[in-house]
């Protein structure tokens, strides 16, 4: 083990990095004088990794197994790790996305003890038939609650309209029927396939000793380097959506809408992925940001609310674009959005608009450094994607107006948009 520091003057941070003998990536951002200490242990495995090969046999899992596994990992023989962390005064939790599962805690004191427990429970599977059956009931209740959540339904409908066969079509939590198929044996298979040090990243921020943290991780995770299973997402998706429109009626006071597109279904890795994502984020900021003519004009006309958002991000091998919010007339918003994309492809983005967006994006990167959870999550994602997080600052400076205009012409095509709505129920 040889953890070493690298200073990033532009960000004002020092990042300590190493890969342990077993392949575990360790990233530590010391913050001298900070009271809060944050640690996140991430696994390069999420809800979309449904099918894989283990010990020469193909394993096909039901929707929701990665999320179910996350819930069960806190169980230890005769104890629960979450209860122990809470009793020590730490705030702990976990989450599962389409391509990553993360376990984390934040504390003021007893950081070393809490770090040891975090590593131990994530690397120690313990499942019984009784506990699995109990969890099926608990998660089943959560799933039923999401079915009444308009925002969740809107996202789910959008993904099903976008994707033909990619597992992103399905909810990370699965369905009541799919999680009923989960057994202790299946959970052990998934843990053995993906919860190996070479497929994980430990990321820490706070007033901590980087060398000591790395030594703790090395002591508790062993030296054996096992290769994780490779997820099979199925054949490559086309860029055209399955259907362009989706509509549901629910108990909402005003229509909710989402416009989304598959920008790339064969994402590169490393710096190429970082650059492609940066171009997409800048394009979306230029065209749809809070200072853009699109947003300011629609907001002044009452067609957009303050909850309008936009996002360009990679997920399970796909680069996704999404924007949405609430509007009394979502169809008019879609019409203007398509017109905005078409005009930008024809005329290009103004140089002043581009430079303003780039400065705003740079400021957003700097502000993000103050969020320990977001910082550690981004560090882990960069480990899995083969790129450097702090390199984003220099990369952002190197992206040109020509790069962004090229991105708009190639990727932000109106005909690739899915438009989903949740409309108020019709009243008698």
Question: Mind giving me the DSSP string for 144-196?
Answer: HHHTT-HHHHHHHHHHHHH-SSSGGGS-TT--HHHHTT--HHHHHHHHHHH-S
Say if CB 256 and CB 325 are below 8 A apart.
yes
C-alpha atoms less than 13 angstroms from C-alpha of 145 in its C-beta half-sphere: 7
Q: Domains of the chain, with CATH numbers?
A: 4-221 (3.30.830.10), 245-424 (3.30.830.10)
Collapsed DSSP state (helix, strand, coil) of residue 119: helix
Q: Could you report the per-residue pLDDT of 243-263, keeping only the tens digit for each?
A: 999 999 999 999 999 999 999
Burial class from Cβ neighbours inside 10 Å (0-12, 13-18, 19+) for residue 64 reads buried
Best CA proximity match to 104, nearest among 370, 369, 376 = 376
Q: Is the pLDDT assigned to residue 348 strictly greater than 90?
A: yes
Q: Could you report the per-residue pLDDT of 372-418, keeping only the tens digit for each?
A: 999 999 999 999 999 999 999 999 999 999 999 999 999 999 999 99
Q: Is the pLDDT assigned to residue 60 strictly greater than 70?
A: yes
338: its two tokens: 């398509």
Instruction: Over range 120-134, report the average pLDDT.
Output: 96
Instruction: Over range 283-304, report the average pLDDT.
Output: 95
The pLDDT value given to residue 235: 86
Q: Residue 300 — pLDDT band, cuts 50, 70, 90?
A: very high
The pLDDT value given to residue 428: 62
Residue pointed to by tokens 């099918």 = 51
Q: Is the pLDDT assigned to residue 55 strictly greater than 90?
A: no
pTM (predicted TM-score): 0.95
Q: Is the pLDDT assigned to residue 340 strictly greater than 80?
A: yes
Say if CB 172 and CB 64 are below 8 A apart.
yes
The pLDDT value given to residue 10: 84
Distance separating the N- and C-terminal Cα atoms of the chain? 70
Entry field: residues in the chain? 428
Best CA proximity match to 22, nearest among 200, 269, 204, 270 = 200
Give the phi and the psi of residue 208 in degrees, each rounded to 5. Answer: -130, 165
What mean pLDDT value characterizes the chain?
95
The pLDDT value given to residue 403: 97
Say if CB 104 and CB 94 are below 8 A apart.
yes
Q: Residue 234 — pLDDT band, cuts 50, 70, 90?
A: confident
The pLDDT value given to residue 57: 87
Cα(20)–Cα(331) distance, integer angstroms: 53
What is the pairing mode between strands 51-54 and 4-8? unpaired
Q: Residue 424 — pLDDT band, cuts 50, 70, 90?
A: very high
Cα(421)–Cα(146) distance, integer angstroms: 17
């Amino acid at each position: 083990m040889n953890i070493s520091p690298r200073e990033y003057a532009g960000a004002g941070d020092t990042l300590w990095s190493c890969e342990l003998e077993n392949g575990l990536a360790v990233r530590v951002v010391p913050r001298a004088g900070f009271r809060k200490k944050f640690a996140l242990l991430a696994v390069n495995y999420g809800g979309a990794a449904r099918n894989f090969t283990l010990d020469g046999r193909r394993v096909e899992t039901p929707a929701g197994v990665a999320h179910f596994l996350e819930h069960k990992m806190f169980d230890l023989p005769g104890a629960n790790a979450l209860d122990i962390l809470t009793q020590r005064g730490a705030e702990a939790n976990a989450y599962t996305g389409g391509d990553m599962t993360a376990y984390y805690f934040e504390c003021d004191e007893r950081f070393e003890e809490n770090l040891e427990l975090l590593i131990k429970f994530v690397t120690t599977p313990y499942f019984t038939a009784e506990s699995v059956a109990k969890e099926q009931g608990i998660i089943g209740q959560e799933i039923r609650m999401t079915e009444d959540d308009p925002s969740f339904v809107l996202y789910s409908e959008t993904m099903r309209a976008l994707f033909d066969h990619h597992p992103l079509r399905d909810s990370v939590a699965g369905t009541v029927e799919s999680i009923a198929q989960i057994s202790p044996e299946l959970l052990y298979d998934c843990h053995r396939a993906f919860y190996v040090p070479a497929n994980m990243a430990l990321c820490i921020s706070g007033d901590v000793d980087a060398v000591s943290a790395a030594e703790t991780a090395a002591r508790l995770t062993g030296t054996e380097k096992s290769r994780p299973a490779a997820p099979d997402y199925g054949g490559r998706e086309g860029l055209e959506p399955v259907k362009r429109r989706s509509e549901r009626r629910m108990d909402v006071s005003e229509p909710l809408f989402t416009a989304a597109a598959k920008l790339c279904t064969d994402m590169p890795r490393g710096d190429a992925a970082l650059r492609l994502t940066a171009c997409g984020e800048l394009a979306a900021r230029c065209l749809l940001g809070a200072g853009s003519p699109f947003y300011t004009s629609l907001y002044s006309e009452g067609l957009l609310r303050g909850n309008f958002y936009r996002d360009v991000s990679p997920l399970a091998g796909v680069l996704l674009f999404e924007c949405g919010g609430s509007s009394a007339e979502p169809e008019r918003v879609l019409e203007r959005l398509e017109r905005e994309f078409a005009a930008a492809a024809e005329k290009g983005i103004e140089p002043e608009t581009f430079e303003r967006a780039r400065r705003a994006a740079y400021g957003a990167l700097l502000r993000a450094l103050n969020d320990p959870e977001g910082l550690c999550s981004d560090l882990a994602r960069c480990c899995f994607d083969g790129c450097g997080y702090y390199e984003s600052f220099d990369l952002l400076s190197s992206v040109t107006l020509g790069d962004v205009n090229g991105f708009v012409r190639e990727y932000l095509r109106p005909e690739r948009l899915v438009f989903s709505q949740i409309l108020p129920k019709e009243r008698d």
